[in-house]
Amino acid sequence: MRNLILILGDQLSRDISSLEGFDPKQDHILMCEVWDEATYVKHHKKKIAFLFSAMRHFANELEADGMPISYTKLDDAENAGSFSGEVKRALDQFSPEKLVVTFPGEYRVLEEIKSWSERFNVDFDIREDGRFFVSPDWFGEWASGRKSLRMEYFYRQLRQDHRILMDGDKPEGGKWNYDQENRKPPRDGMNVPAPYRGQTDEITQDCIALVAERFGDHFGDLEPFYFAVTRDQALYALDKFFDERFGQFGDYQDAMIQGEPWMFHSHISFYLNCGLLNPREVVKRAEFAFYDGQAPLNAVEGFIRQILGWREYVRGIYWLKMPDYAEENALDAQRDLPWFFWTGETQMNCLRQCILETKENAYAHHIQRLMVLGNFALLAGLDPKQVNEWYLIVYADAFEWVEMPNVTGMILFADGGELASKPYAASGAYINRMSNYCENCTYKVTQKNGPKACPFNYLYWDFFLRNKDKLKGNPRLNNAYGTLNRMKDEKIDAIRADTHRFLESLDE
Taking the C-alpha atoms of residue 31 and residue 99, their distance in angstroms, rounded to an integer, is 13
Taking the C-alpha atoms of residue 414 and residue 471, their distance in angstroms, rounded to an integer, is 12
Q: What is the pLDDT of residue 151?
A: 94
Q: What is the mean predicted confidence (pLDDT) over 150-160?
A: 95
Q: What is the mean predicted confidence (pLDDT) over 143-160?
A: 94
What burial letters (b/e) apply to 324-334, b meaning 16+ CB within 10 Å?
A: ebbebebbebe
Q: What is the mean predicted confidence (pLDDT) over 40-50?
A: 98
Q: What is the pLDDT of residue 53?
A: 98
Bond prior to 451 in cis (omega within 30° of 0) = no
Q: Which domains does the chain have, with CATH numbers?
A: 3-127 (3.40.50.620), 136-193+245-321 (1.25.40.80), 340-507 (1.10.579.10)
Model pTM score: 0.96
Q: Answer whether residue 181 shows pLDDT above 90.
A: no
Residue 148 binned pLDDT confidence (cut-offs 50, 70, 90): confident
* DSSP classification of residue 450: S
Sheet holding 123-127, edge to edge: 69-72, 27-32, 3-6, 98-102, 123-127
Q: Answer whether residue 269 shows pLDDT above 90.
A: yes
Taking the C-alpha atoms of residue 476 and residue 95, their distance in angstroms, rounded to an integer, is 59
What is the DSSP track for 454-497? -HHHHHHHHHHHHTHHHHTT-GGGHHHHHHHHHS-HHHHHHHHH
What is the DSSP track for 129-142? -TTSSS-HHHHHHH
Q: Which pLDDT tens digit goes with each residue over 404-456?
A: 999 999 999 999 999 999 999 999 999 999 999 999 999 999 999 999 999 99
Residue 115 binned pLDDT confidence (cut-offs 50, 70, 90): very high
8 A C-beta contact, residue 9 and residue 104: no
Q: What is the pLDDT of residue 465?
A: 97
Q: Answer whether residue 229 shows pLDDT above 90.
A: yes
| Beta carbons within 10 angstroms of residue 385's beta carbon | 17
Taking the C-alpha atoms of residue 499 and residue 495, their distance in angstroms, rounded to an integer, is 6
Residue 394 gets the label, from left (phi > 0), alpha (psi -120 to 50) or beta, of: alpha
Taking the C-alpha atoms of residue 127 and residue 124, their distance in angstroms, rounded to an integer, is 10
Q: What is the mean predicted confidence (pLDDT) over 482-496?
A: 96
Q: Answer whether residue 179 shows pLDDT above 90.
A: no
